[in-house]
Structure 1
Amino acid sequence: MPAAFKDAAVQAVFDQYEADVRDKLLSLRDLIFDQAALIPSVGPLSESLKWGQPAYHPVANRIGTTVRLDAIPGSGGAVALYVPCSTTLISDILTRYPDVFDSQGKRALVFAPDTPIPESELRHGIAMALTYHRRNVL
């Protein structure tokens, strides 16, 4: 069951996307909330806008880092899951899953419009982000 929007500004950002892009981004959003719920140490998530993009991070300090979602302009419908480029998350994820994800440098995992999301591997990547400051957890 999708998490209800608590912030009208975040919902407005999702509402402005075309239906196919919005559906893919909402699927990613659901995975973030689902994965957070499976990790007791993460606790509740904050959902807000950061640089105009929907952003998610544990409410408690020093648990994990922010995960953001957005469409990639001019890509024909590709979407991305962004993490801070100052982390090693993208590199760590690509090392674990070298043939699964496309990336945009050190900052994003990219999902083409007609490509299914690799759910199992992405769940692990999301867990790595949401527990980034507690690296020994996973």
Structure 2
Amino acid sequence: MTSPPVPAAIAEVLVQHSATVRTRLLQVRDLIFVVAAETEGVGPLTEALKWGEPAYLTEASKSGTTIRLGIVKSAPAHCAVFFNCKTTLVDTFRVHFGSEFAFESNRALLIPATGDLPAEPLAHCLRAALTYHQRRKRQPVAWVDMPTRQ
């Protein structure tokens, strides 16, 4: 699966970041589209700017919650993957992947801008966000498909 071309408005935002951060954010963007394509019930994504940051929404299926990409001032050498702070997603990611990522409060997981992309654990987190509403309707305890890291 190849992700769609980067829309001009998104490219304008990304070019404001350093080359290292921009490259990592584009890698995460690609992974979002791959995970969406591989996950039943997600359907096509809407890519837009929310709060001046690239955002990925499941508008067609309404299966998940918005994922945004950016940075946080407290961790300039990291890229931030933001999730709705009114969900339990980040708290759950902390339990399952606390050794894989750093976190910003209950709103983002932080990924180093350099080094290997932690693709497998990040894909689990993205899938959980993209199916958040779908899974809440089906089963209250929706994290059984997420591996626990010790």
Whether contact under 8 Å (2:20, 2:114) holds in the other structure is: no
- The runs of 4+ residues in structure 1 deviating greater than 4 Å are none
Structure 2 SS opposite 1:106: coil
**What runs of 5+ residues in structure 2 fail to find an aligned partner?**
146-150
What is the aligned partner in structure 2 of residue 113 from structure 1? Answer: 113
The 5 A counterparts of 1:50-61 are 50-61=50-61
What is the aligned partner in structure 2 of residue 15 from structure 1? Answer: 15
Using the TM superposition, give the Cα deviation of residue 61 of structure 1 relative to its aligned residue in structure 2, in angstroms. 4.7
What is the aligned partner in structure 2 of residue 71 from structure 1? Answer: 71
Deviations 1:77-132 (A, max 9, x none): 31100001000000111222232111001000011233432110110100000000
Deviations 1:37-90 (A, max 9, x none): 001310000000000000001122531000000022364431100001000000
What is the aligned partner in structure 2 of residue 89 from structure 1? Answer: 89
Q: What amino acid is aligned across from residue 8 of structure 1 in structure 2?
A: A
Q: What amino acid is aligned across from residue 4 of structure 2 in structure 1?
A: A
TM-score by length of 1: 0.90
TM-score by length of 2: 0.83
Give the aligned CA root-mean-square deviation in angstroms.
1.7
Percent of matched pairs sharing the same residue: 38
Structure 1 CA distance for aligned equivalents of residues 65 and 107 of structure 2: 12
Structure 1 SS opposite 2:9: helix
Distance 1:98 1:75, change over 3 A: closer
Q: What amino acid is aligned across from residue 5 of structure 2 in structure 1?
A: A
Structure 1 CA distance for aligned equivalents of residues 18 and 74 of structure 2: 13
Structure 2 CA distance for aligned equivalents of residues 96 and 71 of structure 1: 22
